[in-house]
Structure 1
Amino acid sequence: MEENKSNVRAVERALDILLCFNEKSEWAMTEIAEKVNLHKSTVHRMLATLEDRGFVTRDALSDRYRLGIRIWELSTHLSTSDDPAVMLLPEMERLRDMLGETISLYIRDGSERIRIQAVQSNQAVRRVAPVGARLPLYVGASSKVLIAFGGEHALRQLLDSADWPETIDKEAYAEQISQIRQSGYATSIEEREPGAAAVAAPIFNRAGRLAAALSVSGPSGRLTLEKMREQVPILIDTAKRMGTMLLEE
């Protein structure tokens, strides 16, 4: 029994190391050890095993680690038949061409939102949205959409979270969420990132359940509140069309 527990713990540690690459593409061994809170010798042994199996690769010059080819080999076997990140990409590209700004798709994961797909704007000055980024749920247009249409439990859980920032008034936030439910969309201007603005709408699947948040984002100097309100009908129409493409859960 103890041996089984040890084996499971080793797997958990190896997965924690791999998950570090969600945040950035390259890591030094000491950085990983600090991130996952493990001794350097333990991390070194695990990295050596992962490297031997092709899951990570080490740059001999910089002595930094990156994801290996085996990760990409595995990803080619992912089913794309019901993957919204793949299925909705053509509609996202169409929306980008119509509005000229960066388009992103977000889902909720616990106390965070994850960008699972993005189509970058073709404009010289644009908002770059890396896929896989994890962002807080209490700020940003997409976050507010995921909370507003994710059920009362989602709102209560967020407001009661120990991570809730003291600088944000809970009553004002709850009132804003109520208004978003009525209007069907959310906006944000420099809430999370200086110089950035976004407008987002919910995507509901065929069963009427919230599937994701669809957002348009760009520089706040170009994507003004007035401009975002002009884009809302197109955004909501696209989100509804996307929803018809998603199967019931």
Structure 2
Amino acid sequence: MEDEKRTVRAVERALDVLLCFASGHEWSLTEIAGRIGLHKSTVHRLLATLEDRGFVTRDVATERYRLGLSVLELSANLSRSDDPSVVLLPEMERLRDQLSETISLYVRDRTERVRIQAVQSMQAIRRVATVGARLPLSVGASSKVLLAFSEAGVRGIVMSDPAWPALLNREDFGKQLDEIVAAGYATSFEEREPGAAAVSAPIFNRSGKLVAALSVSGPSNRLTPNRMHEHAPAIIEAAHRMGTILG
């Protein structure tokens, strides 16, 4: 029984190492150990195993690690027929061309949101969205959409998490989420970072299940509160089309 527990823990630690590369192209042994809170000797053994299996590769000159070819081999076998990031890309490009702003697709992963697809604006000054970025659910238009339209109980779980900002009143935030449900979309104006604004709408599949949040973001001097409200019907319509496509 003890051996089984150690095996599971080792797998969890190895996955923690791999997940470091979701937020960075390459890392040193010291950086990885610091990020996942393990001793360097333990991380070194994990990296040696992952390197042997081809999941990471080490630059001998710099002693920094990157993802290996085995990750590409696995990703090549992902099912693309029901992957929203692939299936919805043409509609995202269509909305980008219509509104001339950056379009992003977010999904909830426990107490965070993850950007799984992005189509960059063609304008010289634009909001650059990085695919794979993880952001908190306590701030931002897409975060509010993913919570407002989530299944019963999700709000409470997320807002009771120890990582929830102490200064963010849960009751007031809950009322804001109710208002978003009534409106059908959410906005954020310089909430997460100065100079940035976004408006987001939910994407439901034909069964009525929330699949993702569709977001339009850009500089706050261009994507003003009035402009976001003007864009909302087009974004809601695009989200509805996307939900129909997903089936």
Q: TM-score, normalised by structure 1?
A: 0.94
Query: Using the alignment, how far apart are the partners of 1:101 and 1:239 within structure 2?
Result: 16
SS in 2 for 1:191: coil
**Which amino acid in structure 1 is aligned with residue 196 of structure 2?**
A
Shift in CA distance, 164/3, structure 1 to aligned 2, threshold 3 Å: closer
Deviation by residue 1:29-57 (Cα, 9 ceiling, x = unmatched) = 01111222222122112212212222111
Q: Which residue of 1 aligns with 2:225?
A: 225
User: Identical aligned pairs, as a percentage?
Assistant: 64
Which residue does 1:150 correspond to in 2? 150
Measure how far apart 1:152 and its partner are: 4.3
> What CA distance in whole angstroms lies between the structure 2 residues aligned with 1:114 and 1:10?
25
User: What is the alpha-carbon distance in structure 2 between the residues aligned to residue 162 and residue 228 of structure 1?
Assistant: 32
Residue 198 (structure 2) aligns with: 198
Q: Is the 8 A contact 2:110 2:158 kept in 1?
A: no
- State the Cα distance separating 1:16 from its structure 2 match: 1.3
The worse-fitting range, judged by mean Cα deviation, of 147-156 and 223-232 is: 147-156
The residue aligned with 1:169 is 169
1:68 is matched with which residue?
Answer: 68
Paired positions, count = 247
RMSD between aligned alpha carbons?
A: 1.4
Amino acid at match of 1:162: P
Q: In structure 2, what is the Cα distance between the partners aligned to 1:184 and 1:30?
A: 46
Q: SS state of the match for residue 223, structure 2?
A: coil
Q: Distance in 1 between matches of 2:61 and 2:196?
A: 37
SS of corresponding position for 1:116: strand
Please give the residue correspondences for 1:50-129 in structure 2 after superposition, counting only pairs within 5 Å. Answer: 50-129=50-129
- Give the whole-Å Cα distance in 2 for the aligned partners of 1:75 and 1:24: 18
Cα distance in 2 for partners of 1:223, 1:99 equals 10
For residues 179 and 3 of structure 1, what CA distance do their matches in structure 2 show?
51
**CA shift at 1:218, angstroms?**
0.7
Counterpart of 1:16, as a letter, is: D
Q: Does the CA-based 8 Å contact 2:106-2:142 persist in structure 1?
A: yes
Q: CA deviation at 1:61?
A: 2.6
> Is 1:133 matched with 2:125?
no
Moved more, 117-126 or 136-145: 117-126
Which consecutive unaligned segments of at least 5 residues does structure 1 have? none
